[in-house]
Structure 1
């Protein structure tokens, strides 16, 4: 894999992003690569000295996209660039950084090393889904992290009938249900007490959100089937339900609506520096390497 053209995409809401982006652009140019700046990034950071490109143009021209921001920025770029198979590398300018794993202070050195061929490639799956009412598709989208069905506003619990490839799995009454990829297992699913899935697993995770019955537990299923969730009832007549495809939301679901979710046709390629370890990321972000302090006092 050789990178002739490298695109820069930044979380343009952040202040002070222009200086590190400009530094990365200079590193890319010094390595003999052409630099593209994503259009909104350029508009909001003032990086006008390099060619500006839309996501569509980046998909056609770029060999690598460098994402500077938080995991949300990486999610958006992944959805936009997955069909064109442009690999992504993430520079953490946010808080957690599970998938934007390169620290900002190492960004220049790491990127220079990656451009010269020192990298590993990791493939991540996405989900695609649609919301169906009768014979009409109301909304469709893709997600790198998860598809989440939850109650809207202050409405009561929602009831869902869950099927896999037409086979009945269970019905649940809960605040919602998370359908997560292995990538998304360290996001909302983790906070709802779901397990962590290694990115190389070919699986999809279902995690109930505050279920009425404690017997409703998370379950991992193969990523080769079609999941169908039918809203059978809402807690209140006037309440509704929402479905979130990462950061894309449809907020007007009603009883009888069906949400179909399957593994997407496209995957996303993440570029990591040599020596990257998923377990090292977990140790840092979840503080697994910290031993509890033992008290000198005895009870």
Structure 2
């Protein structure tokens, strides 16, 4: 099958054992489909896979029309944030346990990736968050997130007190260990473990989940994703904010974390017949105990 894609980037979780051999096999397979392969710079340098052209992440976005990501959801999150503004579609190859957004098992690469590269795939687009930290009205930090933006108390500190506004309207003051603002993609990550609901990726909403709230009536809430969420740090010590568990910024009283929908969306390509509900069943073991 001839590839409908001209130039494919290959990105891997280079810390994983045996990754070089896996990437080399996939690179050769892609070349046999008639596409050019470039390897993301850090992947190439850390695996020794230097027989193909190398590109930094920005170069992947500028020059490639498909990115194949091998690893787990964490690897995919990093790349997705970086290439979303370029509109490059992503295919996730999972080495290990099934991921929510890396959904092709590594043992099925040839059977599945070939048809995808030939144009036989399901495409979905997922929303991202963008956030800012304001201090005295001035932006001191900003970043993107595909999963979530999390305000956390310090490791040895007590609760934080937060003032929350939604679309400019005062919503609540809460005392808690932290607060999660999650996209539908992130609703199956930290937000789920903190008691939040699962949002289908097609729902235009965020989920706001307090972490261990002092008042039990502070419950998770689903908000429209066209509403900006503003979280002011009112009390607590050593508070921080992170974006997909990657970018950190130390916060002081009076700082405001603003979160809104990004103008960019992430494009994922899945095998024909892919089902979001099948992924939930497998990942969350919803079919255990049935069928003997």
Q: TM-score range by the shorter chain?
A: over 0.9
Residue deviations 1:25-67, cap 9 Å, x none?
1111000000010000001111111111111111111110000
Residue deviations 1:133-166, cap 9 Å, x none?
1032121000000000010121000011110111
Q: Secondary structure at the match of 2:107?
A: helix
Contact 1:71 1:94 survives alignment (8 Å): no
1:104 aligns with 2:102: no
Corresponding residue for residue 277 of structure 2 = 279
- CA change 1:230–1:270 in 2 (3 A) is same
Distance in 1 (CA, whole Å) between partners of 2:258 and 2:4 is 38
For the aligned residues, what is the CA RMSD? 1.5
- CA change 1:96–1:176 in 2 (3 A) is farther
* Residue 293 of structure 1, CA deviation: 11
Match of 1:32 among 34, 53, 58: 34
Residue deviations 1:70-107, cap 9 Å, x none?
11100000011011110001011244511111111112
- CA change 1:140–1:94 in 2 (3 A) is farther
Structure 1 segments, 4+ long, off by >4 Å, are none
Distance in 2 (CA, whole Å) between partners of 1:200 and 1:44 is 37
Residue deviations 1:241-269, cap 9 Å, x none?
01010133334211111000000010000
Match of 1:43 among 22, 45, 48: 45
Distance in 1 (CA, whole Å) between partners of 2:239 and 2:97 is 29
Distance in 1 (CA, whole Å) between partners of 2:227 and 2:210 is 19
What is the correspondence of 1:65-104 to structure 2 with a 5 Å cutoff? 65-104=67-106
Unmatched segments (≥5 aa) in structure 1: 295-299
Contact 2:129 2:262 survives alignment (8 Å): yes
Moved more, 206-215 or 245-254: 245-254
Distance in 2 (CA, whole Å) between partners of 1:125 and 1:2 is 25
Residue deviations 1:215-236, cap 9 Å, x none?
00000000001110001111xx
Distance in 1 (CA, whole Å) between partners of 2:227 and 2:34 is 45
* Residue 292 of structure 1, CA deviation: 7.3
- CA change 1:244–1:94 in 2 (3 A) is farther
* Residue 2 of structure 1, CA deviation: 3.2
Q: Secondary structure at the match of 1:77?
A: helix
1:132 aligns with 2:130: no
Match of 2:228 among 212, 226, 229: 226
Contact 1:242 1:249 survives alignment (8 Å): no
What is the correspondence of 1:1-299 to structure 2 with a 5 Å cutoff? 2-234=4-236, 239-291=237-289
Distance in 2 (CA, whole Å) between partners of 1:292 and 1:233 is 49
Distance in 2 (CA, whole Å) between partners of 1:181 and 1:96 is 20
* Residue 118 of structure 1, CA deviation: 1.1
Contact 2:143 2:247 survives alignment (8 Å): no
Q: With structure 1 as the length reference, what TM-score do the two structures score?
A: 0.94
Q: Secondary structure at the match of 2:58?
A: helix
